[in-house]
């Protein structure tokens, strides 16, 4: 019997859980009181407000998002507060409120993995690139309600 070789999954390196919040400071205060944390960016401030230039559903877009993370064992809890512009994160907050938005995975070749997923019929929701890497969120929320992110560090 012939064995099929399965292509390595783009979702092999689980990295973080992304949660959309309305108020970053209030959320951090609450979660810290529960014993989670500490929250902050590696080697930086507790919260960063990052501008992005990329695409939203295939069209150019610019947005900003406040981000803070905490280690939970070997996984990060990533808090995201939309802070300007049209974004998939703001759409989620407007339509669904606060909550679990995505599962994030790392990759060593974002272009390769995005192209492979698109060939399989998975649509890119939003993406942004920089000289330091980039990310792509995929419209995997149609089943199970959870978006998937690939990030190249």
Q: What is the pLDDT of residues 35-57, one digit of tens each?
A: 999 999 888 899 999 999 999 99
CA 57 to chain centroid: 15
| Angle (CA) 72 18 135, round 5° | 115
pTM: 0.90
pLDDT 10s digits, 101-140: 999 999 999 999 999 999 999 999 999 998 878 999 999 8
Residue 116 belongs to what H/E stretch? helix 110-119
Q: Taking the alpha carbons of 89, 132, 122, 86 in that order, is the dihedral positive or negative? A: positive
| HSE of 54, CA atoms in CB hemisphere, 13 A | 23
Residue 28 belongs to what H/E stretch? helix 24-33
CB neighbour burial string for 38-70, b if at least 16 within 10 angstroms, e if fewer: ebeeeeeeebeeeebebebeeeebebbbbbbbb
Each domain of the chain, given as residue ranges in start order, spans 14-36+47-152
Nearest to residue 113, comparing CAs of 5, 1, 10? 10
Superfamily of domain 14-36+47-152: 2,3-Dihydroxybiphenyl 1,2-Dioxygenase, domain 1 (3.10.180.10)
* Distance in angstroms (rounded) separating the CA atoms of residues 119 and 105: 19
């Amino acid at each position: 019997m012939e064995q099929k070789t399965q292509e390595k999954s783009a979702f092999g390196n689980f990295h973080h859980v992304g949660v959309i919040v309305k108020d970053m400071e209030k959320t951090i205060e609450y979660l810290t009181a529960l014993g989670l944390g500490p929250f902050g960016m590696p080697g930086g401030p507790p919260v960063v407000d990052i501008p992005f230039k990329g695409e939203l559903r295939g069209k150019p877009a610019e947005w900003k998002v406040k981000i803070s993370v905490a280690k939970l064992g070997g996984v990060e809890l990533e808090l995201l507060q939309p802070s300007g512009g049209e974004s998939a994160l703001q759409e989620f907050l407007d339509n669904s409120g606060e909550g679990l938005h995505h599962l994030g995975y790392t990759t060593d070749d974002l272009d390769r993995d995005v192209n492979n997923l698109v060939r399989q019929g998975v649509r890119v929701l939003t993406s942004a690139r920089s000289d330091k890497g980039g990310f792509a969120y995929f419209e995997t929320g149609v089943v199970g309600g959870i978006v998937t992110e690939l990030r190249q560090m």
